[in-house]
Amino acid sequence: MIKVVRVALVAGVLLASGVAWAQEPSLAAARELYVGAEYKDALTMLNALAAATPSKSDRQGIELYRALCLVALGNQPEATKVIEGLVTSDPLYRPDGADLPPRMRTAFSDARKRLLPSLVQQRYLVARAAFEQKEYASAAEGFKLVLEGLEDPELGSAGSQPPLSDLKMLASGFHDLAAKAVPPPAPSESKPVTTTVAPAIELEPASPGGSAAATSASAEFRIYGPNDVNVVPPISIRQVVPPFSGRLPRAAVAALEVIINESGSVDSVSMVVPLNPSFDRNVVEAARSWQYRPATLNGTPVKYRKRLQLSVLPTSDR
């Protein structure tokens, strides 16, 4: 019944956009459209599938083909955002398929090289927070992911130099402590799982350096970001993240993007890395009421694009 409802939802979205298909909307169907060079139709179907809250494995396939379609359509900036979202959601993710174009493999490799150092450090903070809350199973799994990330060959020499080399030693020690502290399985069914959402962490810029400040004439409609070195970023005044309700077996990560206007209010919100439909809706709704001291360029308030990561930590009721 759930599958029928989901398919009906996808079909409804497609029909509302004026697109009709001879076959049931699916990742396989979108892949066939892509192979047939029907990139716009494939992208429309993929966007609708993504809106139907697919599973993690399905979402990775959908996002991969969204990136492929965007590249084929010449929209490289948006494709880069999709690739960065995939890497942020799962730093160990590597796309399958021997037929993947070389430029896409290069794009994923470049994104991992840019993002892995900060992602590994953020995952360490999540695991450390779980350890301090005595959630040892979650902490052990988190430190294991950190160590796997630090072994990634695309980190190159950065993995053997501070701060990552120091992080490896700390993560290894905490992993052993957490693994030893994990209690044996309870003989009866465990109590329900509740969760805690850690404070939002601002994501690092996707690439180093920054662009020079624009003139006042061209700056009127521009949205600035972390790479604009002459812009003073916004300062949070009210940025409350709603709680996560439901079961979550281990730590998870979500990410969102907000556009902050010249008055410090939030103009728009989008989930870059979704986690759960209900939680995502609550986060988007809450973010619309966040308030900041606006970003400034030479003392003049400007619009600013800010990305935030949310770490959700499972905690057992006691």
What separation in angstroms does the CA of 126 have from each of 120, 130, 137, 313?
10, 6, 13, 7
With b for 16 or more beta-carbon neighbours within 10 A and e for fewer, the 250-289 pattern comes to bbbbbbbbbbbbeebebeebebbbbbbeebbebbbebbee
CA angle, 182 then 253 then 98, to 5°: 100
Give the pLDDT confidence score for residue 296 in this predicted structure. Answer: 93
The residue among 126, 77, 115 whose CA lies nearest residue 93 is 115
Q: Count the helix, strand and coil residues of the chain and give each as a percent rounded to the nearest 5.
A: 50, 20, 35
Give the pLDDT confidence score for residue 16 in this predicted structure. Answer: 43
The secondary structure of residue 163, as a DSSP letter, is T
Contact 124, 150 (CB under 8 A): no
pLDDT digits over 178-203, tens only? 888 877 655 544 444 445 565 565 66
Give the pLDDT confidence score for residue 277 in this predicted structure. Answer: 83
Q: Could you give the 3-state DSSP secondary structure of residue 145?
A: helix
For 224, phi then psi, to 5°, come to: -90, 170
pLDDT beneath 70, residues of the chain:
1-23, 97-99, 184-221, 249, 314-318
Tell me how far apart the terminal alpha carbons of the chain are, to the nearest angstrom: 36
The pLDDT > 90 percentage for the chain reads: 15
Q: Count the Cβ atoms, other than its own, within 10 Å of residue 209.
A: 7
- Cα(91)–Cα(88) distance, rounded to whole angstroms? 6
Give the pLDDT confidence score for residue 302 in this predicted structure. Answer: 93
Give the pLDDT confidence score for residue 315 in this predicted structure. Answer: 60
For 19, phi then psi, to 5°, come to: -110, 130
* Residue 112 C-beta-side C-alpha neighbours within 13 Å: 21
Six token digits for residue 246: 């439901």
What separation in angstroms does the CA of 49 have from each of 3, 30, 110, 163?
12, 9, 27, 40
